[in-house]
Structure 1
Amino acid sequence: MSDTRTLRHMAILRYIPQEPQYTTTRELSDKLSNDGFDINMRMLQRDIEILCCQHPLSCDDTVRPHRWFRIQGVSDASLEMTPSTALAINMLSEQSHYLLPRQVHDNLKGFFLQATQKFAVAPENPLYHWPSRIANLSPGFQLCKPIIDDKVMQVVERSLIQQTPLEIDYRPRPPRYSKKYQINPLGLVTRGPVYYLIATLRESGDYRHFVLHRIQDAELMTVAQHQVQDFDLSTYIKNGNLSFPKDNKITLELKVSYIEGYHLLETPIHPDQQVSYPDPHHFVLKAKVNHTEELKWWLMSLSDISEVIGPNFLRRELAESLEKAVRQYQSN
């Protein structure tokens, strides 16, 4: 690209404002002429087409003359993006939808578009094919996403950002009925397709987990939020509080078929698990784990290739559940 063309392109980018402002091709032509550029309308249109492939520019072609603007959320300093930066933004754009407030994610849509366009015009770049050569697949059978009210999500996110209490109208599992709660939101956690709002009740200070798609309405309160001392979301999750806890830690002893359960030797249930081999066809795992409902569900999923040896109460609990399942299948 010649120096003149480069300077002309830089000038065009400077003169295209960010939405909701806009400019027209004629206005751009006049400004470039005033800057001393010798350019006709055909050349300008070709320049704009090239720049649209490299930068987050857009056009409203439903009106005459067409209106050009830079997509909201992209500053002048970000008009150039290196291939490695574009790759990182491309790869993170999907995950950011779950981790960022929606209003922030919407403000970044220009960066995401710019990252996509950066590679669209440079297929010869060796990084171009990376997104098509790597994928993240969630384990197990996946359920569809529940429907979350957009207004509820916006209010919840605002309350977390501003540390403001909420009054929510919450619909629990049947047969219980909807109930209003006044809460102090502490954190938002995604588990697969489900969002959990961690909060304390304003009256008692007790911790509660509210499934976001069951919140029918949410309103910010004008009173000050009760601050929870020493609350750390990472520690709260690490301690198993979102795994439907039943008791504290237990020592799990699990006999597993060697062939079918070999993956448990490669991906241990605990970093300090102990392994023994009572016979050529089985191994026994022994480790301290959190006693949760999820542990029981996981053990049930392995019930055809494993046997809980201890603790005894957990062995009895699984046996009762399996007997119930057998009765259901034999009832017909």
Structure 2
Amino acid sequence: MADSSLRLLLLLQQIPREPRSISSQQLHERLEDAGYPVSLRTVQRDLVSLSSHFPLVQSTPTGRGKTGVAWAFSKGSQHLAFPGMDAVTALTVSMAMEHLQSLLPRQVLQYLEPWQLEAEAQLRQHNSSKYHDWMSKVRVVPQHFLQAPQVDAEAVGLIYEAVLENRKFSATYKGKPERIIHPYGLVQQGHTLYLICRFFEFDDVRITALHRYQEVELLDESVRSFPEFDIDDYLDSGAMQWVLPDRQRITLKLLVSPWLAAHLKETPLADKQILTTDPQHAERYVLEAQVLDGMQLRRWLLSQGAGLQVLEPEPLREWMREIVREQAHSYML
């Protein structure tokens, strides 16, 4: 394939979808980095030519690299993939989208709509007996009772870009404006998206919910260097289990009902949990496991109601006793 054809393919790969865009100057720089030292004028002519064959739109560029016209694929255009999506991939994408409906906010899912539309088109094209009415036979039931929080779609898109490009940004967070944020990672927990970051010049790491961000503005400065931070080590420390500073890994001992024992055999609390029949209670089981003592654990213990009883450690047993006593008292009023 001629170099000019490869250059055009590379150009198309670099152009984002609305509402994001990229300036012709930025595209020129990326082509140079990829080994295509053509002039800016050549890039501009290529873009005009491509726009007559592909759904490209022009706009005034914003943020870093304001020189020239900004380009983007139109928001409602079908996704273009090389190679094209086959029927099996289309089925997988459709299943994934069905699953994500209950996990991600609608404003975040809109970024995946082009792939969903392409998958649906492929399934219609291959609507033989082999794939007939596939999606009418598949459903994903949400595990969470609460609905996903609503997010600012534009804010989330800019935060994603900041994470990808290692750039800091300013934003309003929890109603407080002009927060300077240094992003270091994204975490999905349940149906809530979290940003792991640091504020201003402070050294403490914060877990911030994306639906609490508004008025996000990308800055031209890079995030503060943080080489000692590793997102896996951070999560392994129990950060997302909301472990408090005075709590640590404990040996949890529970008295559990038969139905909960059966459930915990299939979905254990820990890798090396031990589940035995309780000699003093013929229809009860004793479970022992090494776990992190955090709010996530305590909420789960409370959610099981009469299905379990905390035996050890004593401080956790006392905490459960106090909570249950307060709940019982509130229902007697």
| TM-score of the two chains, using structure 2 as the length reference | 0.68
Alignment of 1:253-332 (within 5 A): 253-278=253-278, 279-331=281-333
Alignment counterpart, residue 167 of structure 2, candidates 144, 164, 167: 164
1:242, 1:325 → 2: CA distance? Answer: 26
1:232 aligns to what?
Answer: 230
Q: What is the CA distance between 1:164 and its match in structure 2?
A: 0.7
Give SS of 1:245's match: coil
1:125, 1:234 → 2: CA distance? Answer: 45
Segments of structure 1 that go 5 or more residues without pairing to the other structure are: 1-15, 22-69, 172-176
1:320, 1:179 → 2: CA distance? Answer: 39
Alignment counterpart, residue 143 of structure 1, candidates 138, 146, 159: 146
Quote the RMSD (CA, aligned, Å). Answer: 3.0
Q: What is the CA distance between 1:195 and its match in structure 2?
A: 1.7
Indicate if the aligned counterparts of 1:18 and 1:71 stay in contact, CA closer than 8 A: no
1:329, 1:269 → 2: CA distance? Answer: 31
Alignment of 1:81-230 (within 5 A): 81-93=85-97, 106=111, 109-139=113-143, 141-171=144-174, 178=176, 180-230=178-228
1:71 and 2:73 correspond: no
Q: Sort the Cα spacing of 1:90 and 1:259 in 2 relative to 1 into closer, same or farther, 3 A.
A: closer
1:81, 1:109 → 2: CA distance? Answer: 14
Q: Sort the Cα spacing of 1:122 and 1:145 in 2 relative to 1 into closer, same or farther, 3 A.
A: same
TM-superposition CA deviations, 1:45-65 (whole Å, max 9, x none):
xxxxxxxxxxxxxxxxxxxxx
Instruction: Tell me the number of residue pairs that the alignment of Structure 1 and Structure 2 aligns.
Output: 258
1:245, 1:228 → 2: CA distance? Answer: 23
Indicate if the aligned counterparts of 2:171 and 2:178 stay in contact, CA closer than 8 A: yes
Q: What is the CA distance between 1:228 and its match in structure 2?
A: 1.6
Q: What is the CA distance between 1:118 and its match in structure 2?
A: 2.0
Q: Sort the Cα spacing of 1:111 and 1:201 in 2 relative to 1 into closer, same or farther, 3 A.
A: closer
2:108, 2:275 → 1: CA distance? Answer: 49
Q: What is the CA distance between 1:129 and its match in structure 2?
A: 4.6
Indicate if the aligned counterparts of 2:151 and 2:210 stay in contact, CA closer than 8 A: yes
Indicate if the aligned counterparts of 2:78 and 2:118 stay in contact, CA closer than 8 A: no
1:210, 1:216 → 2: CA distance? Answer: 12
Give SS of 1:221's match: strand
Q: Sort the Cα spacing of 1:219 and 1:94 in 2 relative to 1 into closer, same or farther, 3 A.
A: farther
Q: Sort the Cα spacing of 1:252 and 1:138 in 2 relative to 1 into closer, same or farther, 3 A.
A: farther
Give SS of 2:181's match: strand
TM-superposition CA deviations, 1:74-98 (whole Å, max 9, x none):
15x44x5432222223233456787
Q: What is the CA distance between 1:127 and its match in structure 2?
A: 3.9
1:284, 1:320 → 2: CA distance? Answer: 22
1:314, 1:229 → 2: CA distance? Answer: 37
Deviating more after overlay: 259-268 vs 294-303:
259-268
Indicate if the aligned counterparts of 2:198 and 2:204 stay in contact, CA closer than 8 A: yes
Identity over aligned pairs, percent: 25
2:100, 2:140 → 1: CA distance? Answer: 14
Q: Sort the Cα spacing of 1:259 and 1:160 in 2 relative to 1 into closer, same or farther, 3 A.
A: closer
Alignment of 1:4-23 (within 5 A): 17-20=53-56
Q: What is the CA distance between 1:302 and its match in structure 2?
A: 1.3
2:134, 2:231 → 1: CA distance? Answer: 33
Q: What is the CA distance between 1:180 and its match in structure 2?
A: 4.5
1:118, 1:316 → 2: CA distance? Answer: 58
TM-superposition CA deviations, 1:287-330 (whole Å, max 9, x none):
00111101111101113111100110000111111111111111
AA in 2 matched with 1:239: S
AA in 1 matched with 2:54: Q
1:214, 1:144 → 2: CA distance? Answer: 16
Give SS of 1:126's match: coil
Indicate if the aligned counterparts of 1:261 and 1:305 stay in contact, CA closer than 8 A: no
Indicate if the aligned counterparts of 2:98 and 2:140 stay in contact, CA closer than 8 A: no
AA in 2 matched with 1:241: A
Give SS of 1:154's match: helix
Segments of structure 2 that go 5 or more residues without pairing to the other structure are: 1-51, 58-75
1:271, 1:302 → 2: CA distance? Answer: 20
2:251 aligns to what?
Answer: 251
2:56, 2:330 → 1: CA distance? Answer: 62
